[in-house]
């Protein structure tokens, strides 16, 4: 039987105020168009307000200054934040291996596992590896020799963390992500590519989350580093010796070339490419599909291929939009010049 709560209870979770029937029972949460009479929805932006008139939702989370709504409402400070607490209450339990080591796992005798560590089926943990308390390693995770993983981490199925890497507390690595693969380093010698040994490591600080199918390469020397609280979407490539500051956001399919530096709070849109040794200052924002080949100072908004600051891009685009008109003007001027220079009009 599904669990339901009154609006009064929901309002207490989000520090909100009920407008309408506080006894209305809520059994789930969904979007404005999909919510049913026993579900609550939320108004993330004022532009969605007209959609409420067609919604079947039993209740809605709205800003404190929101006007009348077709259904009961909970007035709160920031609905998009408040709804997180609602999702947490209604989220189904996530399957996890129980604390302990599954019989099919292979754990080196020299490895050290903290209290309540969960090791799932077919996990491999190398020599002298250290796993922090309450960390969960799902099926088929590989942890290399001399690697340290902090407390309360979650490594989903198929994650690989190679030798000598370091993960801080509360790091989440989603399925099939690889940490510590060799950096892409070769020297062309006598007609062939000679591999450069990649002897460095990867350091991932606390509260980092990395999506599925990502690769963070080990450094040629020293460390590739990802700062605390940074969040990385799926299918992102971080090359050797890259340093990413704390609190950054990297959207899907970004590629960051070797030795690039990202400051605090940098945001990269989807499919952004960052050239090698490029440095982005704190708070730089790069629009999707841009290619960054030069440094940008703190606070810059960059866009384009190659990327330029947003103001320059706007000026360039305005001129480009005028090119067809300017081409016709040029043709007309050319015809006038031809007539003026012709023998008949001399």
Tabulate helix, strand, coil % of the chain (nearest 5).
15, 30, 55
DSSP state of 117: -
Tell me if residue 240 is catalytic: yes
Nearest to 154, CA basis, from 142, 169, 172 = 172
Q: Which residues contact 267 (CB under 8 A, 6 or more apart)?
A: 248, 249, 284, 285, 286
From the number of C-beta atoms within 10 Å of its C-beta (0-12, 13-18, 19+), residue 313 rates as: middle
DSSP string of 125-136, one letter each residue: E-TT-EE-TT-E
Residue 59 to residue 42: CA distance in whole angstroms: 8
Cα-to-chain-centroid distance, residue 76: 27
Residue 160 to residue 175: CA distance in whole angstroms: 9
Nearest to 282, CA basis, from 300, 270, 269, 268 = 300
Which of 102, 240, 310, 346 does the annotation list as catalytic? 240
Cα-to-chain-centroid distance, residue 326: 42
Tokens representing 181 are 């693969």
Catalytic residues: 240
């Amino acid at each position: 039987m599904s669990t339901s709560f009154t609006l009064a209870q929901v309002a207490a979770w989000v520090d909100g105020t009920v407008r309408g029937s506080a006894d209305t029972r809520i059994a789930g949460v969904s979007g404005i168009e999909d919510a049913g009479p026993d579900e609550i929805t939320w108004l993330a932006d004022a532009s969605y307000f007209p959609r409420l008139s067609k919604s079947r939702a039993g209740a809605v989370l709205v800003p404190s200054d929101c006007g009348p709504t077709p259904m009961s409402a909970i007035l709160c400070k920031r609905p998009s934040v408040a709804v997180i607490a609602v999702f947490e209450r209604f989220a189904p339990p996530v399957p996890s291996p129980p604390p302990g080591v599954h019989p099919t796992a292979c754990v080196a005798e020299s490895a050290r596992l903290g209290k309540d560590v969960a090791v799932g089926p077919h996990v491999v943990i190398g020599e002298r590896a250290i796993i922090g308390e309450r960390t969960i390693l799902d099926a088929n995770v590989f942890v290399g020799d001399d690697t340290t993983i902090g407390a309360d981490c979650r490594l989903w199925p198929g994650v690989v963390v190679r030798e000598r890497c370091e993960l801080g507390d509360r790091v989440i690595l989603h399925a099939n992500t690889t940490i510590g693969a060799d950096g892409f380093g070769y020297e062309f010698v006598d007609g062939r590519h000679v591999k450069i040994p990649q002897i460095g490591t990867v350091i991932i600080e606390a509260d980092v989350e990395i999506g599925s199918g990502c690769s963070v390469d080990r450094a040629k020397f020293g460390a590739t580093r990802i700062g605390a609280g940074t969040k990385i979407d799926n299918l992102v490539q971080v090359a050797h010796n890259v340093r990413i500051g704390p609190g950054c956001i990297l959207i899907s399919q970004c590629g960051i070339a070797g030795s690039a530096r990202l400051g605090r709070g940098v945001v990269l849109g989807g499919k952004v490419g960052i050239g090698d040794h490029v440095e982005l200052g704190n708070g730089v924002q790069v629009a999707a599909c841009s290619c960054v080949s030069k440094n940008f100072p703190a606070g810059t908004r960059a866009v384009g291929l190659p990327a330029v600051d947003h103001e320059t891009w706007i000026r360039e685009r305005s001129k480009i939009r005028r090119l067809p008109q300017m081409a016709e003007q040029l043709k007309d001027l050319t015809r006038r010049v031809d007539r003026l220079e012709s023998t008949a009009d001399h």
